[in-house]
Each structure stands twice: as structure tokens, then as C-alpha cells.
Amino acid sequence: MSELTRLSAADIAAKVAAGEVSALEVAQAHLDRIAAVDGQVHAFLHVDADGALAAARAVDERRATGAVLSPLAGVPLAMKDVVVTQGLPTTAGSKILEGWRPPYDATITRRVKDAGIVLLGKTNMDEFAMGSSTENSAYGPSHNPWDLSRIPGGSSGGSSAAVAAFEAPLAIGTDTGGSVRQPAAVTGIVGHKPTYGAVSRYGLIAFSSSLDQAGPFGRTVLDAALLHEVIAGHDPADSTSIAGPVAPVVAAARDGACGDLSGVRIGVVRELGGEGYQPGVLASFEAAVETLRGLGAEIREVSCPHFGYALAAYYLIAPSECSSNLARFDAVRYGLRAGDDGVNSLEDVMSLTRQAGFGPEVKRRIIIGTYALSSGYYEAYYGQAQKVRTLIARDFAAAFERVDVLVSPSSPFVAFGIGERIADPMAMYVNDLCTLPASLAGTPAISVPCGLSEGLPVGLQVMAPALRDERCYRVGAAFEAAVEPTLASIPELVR
């Protein structure tokens, strides 16, 4: 493996800015790494080598003129295939969009390009972001670099696998119920879900509009913070975008790296642990809490009694919104068109296209959501779930009157085997037990590596009040500075 692919995003950017290495060399090193290992990892659905090299040359040309480069100029990035990219295939992991090349860029894509970040390609994902393992991709599963027989999490498993396998130092994922934090946890990297509305959803192929939020992956907390500052900020093209300043996440990460958490009140959520959690995960989490205590933090136990209802509420709200959002895939405007033989009616073509184009998990959620929204059942299901969502938000508000941040495991389990849970939806859904409350409440949360169980990574989740993302980064960076990086133990296969 090239030494360039081992560097953090911050170190790459500094070397490019100083002229110690060219952006072109960095891009080529990562493309070579992808060529060497992605046949086994399957993190990418599309690699844009020509585009990446052209973007890198542009960075080098700007540096040669003496122009001041942005903080991440010349750093490669992997983009989840749910984010629209002009001229590049964007499938959302689904056959129904196979071959679609959008005529425009998502706001995230534009901001990444404007910052001089080098887009390597599009990463694999559960179809329309519906899943926790990347096994629901129409293009086959991604593999966890720690153990290729195991899942890399989902739905952003391709992005997490790319970073963990040193194919990219940075990646973009999306988090609807935990799809940044859970993959980060099981692949031993950092992943942050920003406050809902802090990052534009314009050009993000919608799954659940009140929950979807894009966020950064990195191998360090600082790297994630640097990418967060690039993609965050108000966007008039997104009606849910927050009109306010971007949280000072980079400053918080640098401050946290000093390792002092004196005066920080940290709440351990009673309901996110115990029976059903793997013993090794709980042991790593408890050790992490003691590390935080040793850094000067005040540790308190906090009860959030309605968190136990998050799973049921989420699996009514998200499918309901998906059944509405996915109605746009009608075989008329773009994407797959099946059964158009001149005999079938438009209704038949639409039905045949959706039958052929959507996978089993997407169909399952559309059916659940359509039923929950149907006449006579709306208030009993969707309406009640929204009330539970309010109670969960109130639990957070009450907790944050007593503490500055909350902590829990990021996932109850380490990475499980590919195929192990695919036939049991409930066994799959419980992977998100720890991450769902913050998604439902719209609050920020980060996952940072906190050790190993059975030789596989465990994640520590840090949750903060809405618009206080910097608290996640400060605590995460302090913890990171105090422990040995788990990535040092990654198997030789992906070194």
C-alpha cells in the first residue's frame, strides 16, 4: 500500500498545499489502491478515474499559480451513490435507476467540487438507503475490510468500506436511521450524522424526507470535521435547510484533541444497553466511559424512557415517507422501463417496471408505508408514530438539561456475517436500536472507534443537542486522542 493512502485527509491537504506532493500523485495512489483491493471489498459501483485525475490536475494548477487552496483541496473522496452527480451513474443501489446519469449536481456534490476535493467515484449502498448491511444493493453486497465474510454496515456500507480499506480518506454517507453511524462503528472509522437540516438534501435521492441527512466519514475525528464544514450550510434550494452559521466543528475537534474534558457532563443512556447487546460491545463501551471519566468528564446515568419505542415508530414513519417518495419512479420520466411492448397499458408498464426494478426490502417498506397511510389507518399508525417521535424529542430535551452530551454504543453488535440475517427483517432492524432516537429527534450524533470485540471494531456514539454538533466532535476527538487507534489492528489483507 502506498504511504499516501495511509495519510489522514488533513495531512494530505497540508502536503498538497505545501507542494510536498501533488494532488495528481495522491489521486493516482488511491486509484491504484482501489484497483488492488476493491475486487474483494466491492465498495465502489463506479470509479471515475478520468474525472478524478482531471480534478487533481486542476488543484495542482491552482497551487502553481499561488492561489490559496481550500482546507481539503486535493483530498480524494468516495460519494455514496444516493447523491446526484452530474454525468456520472447514480443508481441509489437500485436496478430501477441503472444507467441513469443526472443532468445536475446535488448541493453536496457541488460544494465538494468547489472545495477542490477529488471525487473518486460512487459507492455501493442498500437500495434507496433501506438496510443495515449493504446486502440489499441490487449490485451485490460490499464486504467489511476487517473480515471479508462480514457486512460493512448499511446503508452507507460502500462508503464506510472504502475508508476502512484505505481506498479513500474521506467519504459521504447518508443517515436516515443510523446509516452513517452504524457502518462507521462496524468498520472502525468515524462517522457523523449532523443536525437535521444542517446539510442540504437538494439532490439527495429521497427515502424518508423528515429523516434523511448526509454526513461525513473519515479515519479521524478531525478529518470528519473538515468535511462537515465543507458540506454544511444553508441552501435555499432545500426548504428544510437551516438558515444559520455552520457549527464550529473543526475548532471543536482541534480543541478536543488536547484531551481535556474537565467540566463536561456526559450522560450514559440507561435504555441503550443491557440485555440483547453483545457482551464484548458492552465491555468496550464501559471501558470507553471510564476513559472519558479519566479525561475529567462528569459521568451521570440518564433515563430516556421513550427510546424503547424508537424502533416501532421509525418503521412506521420511514416506510410511510418512502411509499410517497418512491411513487415518482413510474417508468415514464427516467430509469428502467419494463413491459413496453406496444400492447401493455401505461398502468401495466408501471407495474411491471416497479416489480422488476425494486428489490424485496424496498417492496416490503412501500407496502408497510402505503398501508400505514391508507384511509382509516393514518392516525392509528403514522399519526401515533409521530406522537412517539415527539416524546423521544422530549426525552432528549430533558436529558440535555442535566448533561452536555449523551453516550451509548453505536450498535448492539459487531459486524455479522453476510447472509446471516438477510432472511429475518426484525433481526436486521435491531441493528439500529442505538442510532434511531437521534434520527427521530433530528439531533446530531457521532460514532468513533472504541475498541475491539472478537477482533472486530466497536463504536462509541456521542449525541448532542440540535445545532450543537461541535460537542460531538469535541468529545469524540478527546476520546480518540486518549486511546490507541483500532485501525492499527486491521488485517493484513487491506494494509
| Active-site residue set | 80, 155, 179
Whether residue 232 contacts residue 194, with contact meaning beta carbons closer than 8 Å, is answered with: yes
Whether residue 481 contacts residue 226, with contact meaning beta carbons closer than 8 Å, is answered with: no
End-to-end CA distance of the chain: 6
Give me the count of residues in the chain: 495
What are 407's strand-pairing partners?
268, 462
Question: Residue 16 CB: number of other CB atoms within 10 A?
Answer: 26
Is the backbone peptide bond immediately before 155 cis, with ω within 30 degrees of 0? Answer: yes
In three-state secondary structure terms, 329 is coil
Whether residue 94 contacts residue 358, with contact meaning beta carbons closer than 8 Å, is answered with: yes
What are 265's strand-pairing partners?
298
d(CA 231, CA 222): 15
Closest CA to 219 of 279, 170, 156: 170
Q: How far is CA 284 from CA 16, 220, 288, 482, in A?
A: 37, 19, 6, 14
d(CA 309, CA 387): 11
Residue 145 sits at the vertex; the CA angle it makes with 143 and 146, to the nearest 5 degrees, is 115
190 backbone dihedrals φ, ψ, rounded to 5°: -100, 135
88 backbone dihedrals φ, ψ, rounded to 5°: -105, 145
